[in-house]
């Protein structure tokens, strides 16, 4: 189905197009054909010619703010990718973390009372009408319960779910359009990426999901010193309202040189330890640890907040990532490549030897550098990017982990430039390596694997019997795949068609020569001579000749 046929939100499309054009990005839509579909004036496609990155970042931020929550979340995602985008654009898009206009208190009150079933005064002794922070999905108000506990109350924006669902449809349409027209969109599986983003933003609009994430994070972080997680108050929560204890402190994004009492080296190490504990021990980690989501409670205590974006690694994935890390730290490119094969969808045609050489070449730039100079997230991301060149599709859980590592490393670099994630991760690697060699764990894995294979073994006699029965009846087919066989067959068709053309042309020539000789030297009294044999033969032969030419050229294989 074409984009025109599936265009269900024309007004929203026009607003997106008009907003982009008003800020100097209309020419982008012209390149993908949307101006024709939406019947927009050509004058809006003009390229402003302003290539200044500060100006581009500022205009892009305004576009995203005007287009609303779905596109703001996209901007926030871009703002965490400092490894890809220039600093001037990142600086502008980082303002999307907090600089979003709030919605009126009357709407806040109506949503809370409608969802919780009580008046605002019955629930809170005090409720600050001016929000503490406004975000793309909702905003946060500080309130005090009647028992004196200070809370942070997140309230979803009115009609946010309907708005996001409309924008999701549009993003899917655009992803499909780009995939059809651009090679890079097919290479990076743009449609799959949009679907991953859809799942994430839908989770963020359901505060029940964030409440469960926060509770689980609080449980797994209880053994990590110097880290606190807010407590959820379930009796005051709904899909549009989330109430938790208020964490008072300084956001990293608001920290300046005046805060000299903060023990930055200690907090940097505490944050890395907490993150590695989340990833390697529990496989449940904060996938968006940007500066706006980290609060310094006091000089030696920090807190993660906002658990709308959480990623998970199952036991097998954790083991695969651990093997990957160990192979990197031990400088074993062949094992790094083997680990990548387990962490990705591998195409049938893959030059594994060349990939291993590229990985070895890539790792060389990290081997001779001091440990504190190695950016682990950057190294992981570089290897994943190399794998993508071979059309290996790394599973999304690992790409989210790489993004989170890069984001956290930028935080750590600000707090303690001499600290390396590799250094802090080394004890975890040794511990986990010992666990892999533990005989008890090995026996447990064998037992679990044997249970999985037991069903296959039980099914084997039946499968073998069915296969033999099909062989006896001659119902077994053979399917073969020969690389580039279509190219070979096309060339064979062209050769055969040209040969047929030559034979028919030769036959036509012989027939005509025979008819001419017969009419010239034959018996004039013969009735065949008196008949218009040459004319009739020429017409019939010529028609057959034209028909053959038409058939050959129509096939396109001449």
Q: DSSP characters for 243-292?
A: EEE---SEEGGG--TT-TTS-HHHHHHHHHHHHHIIIIIISEEES---GG
Q: Which of the listed ranges 53-62, 231-240, 484-493, 531-540 does the model predict with the highest average pLDDT?
A: 231-240
Kindly state the tokens that stand for 483.
């690389």
pLDDT over 70 at 100, yes or no: no
182-186, 237-241, 266-270, 528-532: lowest mean pLDDT where?
A: 528-532
Q: What is the average per-residue pLDDT within 510-531?
A: 61
User: For 308, which DSSP code?
Assistant: S
pLDDT score of 60: 84
Mean pLDDT of all residues belonging to the chain: 77
Kindly state the tokens that stand for 365.
């730039």
pLDDT score of 326: 79
pLDDT over 80 at 258, yes or no: no
Q: How far apart are CA 540 and CA 546, in angstroms?
A: 10
How many C-beta neighbours within 10 Å does residue 6 have? Answer: 13
126-135, 206-215, 401-410: lowest mean pLDDT where?
A: 401-410
Band of pLDDT at residue 260, cut at 50, 70 and 90: low
Q: What is the average per-residue pLDDT within 437-466?
A: 68
Band of pLDDT at residue 240, cut at 50, 70 and 90: very high
pLDDT score of 67: 84
26-40, 171-185, 200-214, 254-268: lowest mean pLDDT where?
A: 26-40
pTM greater than 0.75? no
Q: How far apart are CA 195 and CA 344, in angstroms?
A: 18
């Amino acid at each position: 189905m074409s984009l025109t046929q599936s265009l269900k939100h024309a007004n929203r499309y026009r607003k997106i197009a008009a907003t982009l054009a008003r800020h100097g990005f209309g020419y982008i839509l012209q390149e993908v054909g949307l101006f024709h579909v939406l019947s927009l004036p050509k004058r809006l496609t003009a390229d402003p010619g302003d290539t200044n990155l500060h100006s581009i970042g500022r205009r892009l931020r305004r576009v995203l703010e005007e287009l609303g929550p779905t596109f703001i979340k996209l901007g926030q995602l871009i703002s965490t990718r400092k490894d890809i985008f220039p600093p001037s654009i990142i600086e502008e898009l980082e303002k999307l973390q907090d600089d979003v206009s709030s919605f009126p208190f009357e709407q806040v009150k109506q949503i809370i009372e409608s969802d919780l079933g009580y008046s605002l005064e019955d629930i809170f002794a005090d409720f600050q009408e001016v929000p503490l922070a406004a975000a793309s999905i909702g905003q946060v108000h500080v309130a005090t319960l009647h028992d004196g506990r200070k809370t942070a109350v997140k309230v979803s924006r009115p009609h946010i779910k309907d708005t996001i669902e409309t924008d999701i449809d549009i993003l899917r349409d655009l992803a499909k359009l780009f995939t059809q027209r651009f090679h890079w969109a097919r290479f990076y599986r743009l449609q799959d990426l949009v679907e991953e983003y859809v799942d994430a933003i839908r989770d963020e609009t359901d505060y029940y999901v964030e409440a469960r994430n926060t509770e689980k994070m609080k449980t797994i972080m209880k053994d990590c010193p110097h880290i606190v997680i807010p407590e959820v108050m379930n009796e005051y929560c709904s899909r549009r309202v989330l109430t938790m204890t208020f964490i008072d402190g300084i956001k990293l994004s608001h920290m300046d040189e005046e805060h000299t009492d903060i023990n930055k080296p200690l907090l940097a190490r505490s944050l890395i330890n907490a993150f590695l504990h989340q990833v390697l021990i529990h496989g449940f980690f904060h996938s968006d640890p940007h500066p706006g989501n980290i609060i310094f409670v006091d000089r030696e205590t920090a807190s993660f907040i906002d658990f709308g974006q959480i990623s998970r690694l199952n036991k097998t994935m954790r083991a695969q990532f651990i093997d990957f890390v160990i192979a990197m730290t031990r400088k074993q490119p062949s094992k790094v490549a083997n680990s990548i094969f387990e962490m990705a969808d591998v195409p049938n045609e893959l030059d594994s030897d060349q990939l291993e050489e590229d990985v070895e070449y890539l790792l060389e730039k990290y081997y001779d550098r001091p440990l504190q100079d190695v950016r682990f997230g950057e190294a992981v991301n570089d290897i994943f990017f190399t794998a993508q060149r071979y059309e290996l599709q790394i599973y999304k859980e690992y790409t989210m982990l790489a993004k989170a590592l890069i984001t956290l490393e930028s935080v750590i670099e600000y707090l303690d430039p001499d600290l390396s994630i590799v250094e802090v991760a080394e004890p975890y690697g040794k511990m986990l390596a010992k666990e892999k060699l533990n005989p008890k764990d090995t026996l447990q894995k064998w037992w679990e694997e044997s249970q999985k294979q037991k069903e296959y073994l039980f099914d084997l006699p039946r499968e073998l019997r069915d296969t033999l029965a099909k062989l006896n009846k001659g119902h077994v087919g053979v399917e073969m795949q020969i690389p580039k066989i279509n190219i070979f067959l096309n060339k064979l068709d062209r050769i055969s068609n040209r040969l047929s053309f030559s034979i028919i042309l030769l036959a036509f020539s012989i027939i005509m020569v025979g008819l001419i000789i017969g009419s010239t030297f034959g018996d004039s009294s013969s009735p065949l001579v008196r008949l218009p044999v040459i004319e009739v033969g020429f017409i019939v032969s010529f028609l057959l000749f034209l028909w053959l030419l038409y058939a050959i050229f129509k096939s396109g294989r001449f």
